Structure 1
Amino acid sequence: MLRKITTKLLLVLSLSLFSINFASAQEGHEAHPENHEATAHEEEKFDIGQMIMHHIADSHEWEFAHGLTLPLPVILYTKQYGLEVFSSKRFAEGNGVYNGYINNHEHIHRLNPQGGLDEEVHVWDLSITKNVASMLLSAVILIVLMSTVAKSFAKNRGKAPKGIQSFIEPIIFFIRDEVVIPNVGPKYEKYLPYLLTLFFFILVNNLLGLIPGGANLTGNITITLFLAVITFIITHINANKHYWLHLVKPEGVPVAMLPLMWVVEIAGVFMKPMSLTIRLFANITAGHIIILSLLGLIFIFKSFAVGGVVTLFTLFMNAIELLVAFLQAFIFTLLSSMYIGSAIEEHHEADHGH
């Protein structure tokens, strides 16, 4: 664990030092009068907001660092032209245009013969984007990791855990004993596989997002919404009659107040997945924006002093984000367990004043 944290901090430090060196090179470039106009042009082009959005948003190519980009498959389907597959490198070579398509801020449209957008052609974008590639990578990591732990557990049954098992097994037991069992109750075994998968999926993607050049998967509201919807569906498919009766006719509520309570209860039902969605999305995205904003200060001020201070703050923020990565995975799993537990418990103690 300590070695992983140290490695991550060194990566951030390397990125910061690279940024400082780049800024210094820009300052040295200013010393030559013949390059003054080009330098001024570069200063004009730098936009910290655009830089931040470029790094946290999804894209059709995976840029690990400036000049180091991995092209990804672009998969498009239209009713008129059928299925078309090509590399995102084609868009880069054609300034965003290739084979009658234009990539306009990561939204792909079909062009008409006049060069304008063809509104009659609806493009279904099924591409392997940066977030999709990161999600597939995290799935492979989880499959390999958990398969290794399972084999190690079977091999060392009744013995002290070894290797990666000694790190993962306590986390699994902690989530089971301290999160799932107390909140879901005696029927926890049915939901444990989902909740453990949920925790480790969020955790792994949170950590991958902290690596320089990593994708902001859990900072994508579509992903967090999908995870919340799965919890919502599992909760209400397995909900018992006590849960539904509580929504329709809460105990102790006068009949005249029932219409108002229906509105409150229905709003509460849909606010739960929304709270899961926004909490994870906002916390992960905010952390990335803060770190990128700090690094952007190096390019704005172009000073060794500022670079040194920014490096220290970035290291501190990255350590905080490392904690947040675990905390947000824990909170999402905890709340999901509570929502499922409240829907399947046999008696609502709160209705009886306990």
Structure 2
Amino acid sequence: MAGSIFGTLFRVSTFGESHGTALGAVIDGCPAGLPLSAEEIQAYLNRRKPGQSAFTTPRKEADTCEILSGVFEGKTLGTPIAVLVWNKDQHSADYQAIWDCYRPGHADFGFDRKFGFRDPRGGGRSSGRETIGRVIGGAIAAKLLAEFGIRAFAYVSAVGAIEAATFDEAICAENLLGMPDPEAAARAAAYLKEVMQARDSLGGTVSCRVTGMFPGLGEPVFDKLDAELAKAVMSIGAVKGVEFGDGFGVSTRRGSEDNDAFCPGQGGTEKKSNHAGGMLGGISDGSDILLRAAVKATPSIGSPQETVNKNGEPVTIEIQGRHDPTIMPRAAVVVESMVNLVLADLLLRNSVSTVEKLKRAAGRA
């Protein structure tokens, strides 16, 4: 299976299956001398681990990480960083009744056709639990970005059709859905309880804002900053769409309405607005990067669904086991992690974009 490695210079390889022995990641290309601890990675993992509320799967996994290599006396060595998380509460028997069935909304059918077999234990490699490796890499990337004053923060801006109307980052930690608007969070929680009683699920929207950005990050052709971010976020299994800045709203405007005017600012040239979401021509313009990701409803639901088994025979299934009625509270940190990975990789690539930068790196400037 190809496609488990992400990045050019800051590279992350993820491994493991939902009901396998362990999951984790190997990060290659992280510069030496970066302060890093297991506790800092754990803080990221804690944001996505299961069993934290009535709105997440009751699977009880501590998701405690172990750094196996690449760090010595609290700093990175410049060598590959291997981080492991053990699976401890997998219930593979929950899938026995649908072992040979293709679950609607899942990767089962395509996976089986591509590889000639599949791991039916919770989806195997195509499970959302695969994102553990992404979050490990994203936590390390966040540490690198912090050295340059860059910070990404992702949050739940909508659950179903209920959208946050206000933004207060501190509020996200005060409600079970991770929304920045307390009133919207309360309405969303009440609606989600109704959906859960119907043995159904909900999706929503994750928004991410990157602050501290400087102009000049990204490439102008195929490796545009927004293109790289779109690929990264779209690689998350539940994400079905990504937009930047005002997104699809720009399609109805005139150029005079959509263009962001430049003006002198305290820190140099600035923009009066940010319809573009912090990128122009595939390169950062110094404004905050703004993106939104559309996340589909959890496909594992308890209500009856029609499908077929491996023999092509029609069957009706009711999925048992432990599943998220919505993944929104856990999805935000995965989006944030993928954004971090892109920015860290492009930051390293940017260091060789001119001869002068190379000279400074070599101490010859």
TM-score bucket of the superposed structures, by smaller chain: under 0.3
TM-score (norm 1): 0.24
TM-score (norm 2): 0.23
Higher share of residues assigned helix: 1
Choose 1 or 2 for highest CA Rg. Answer: 1
Higher share of residues assigned strand: 2
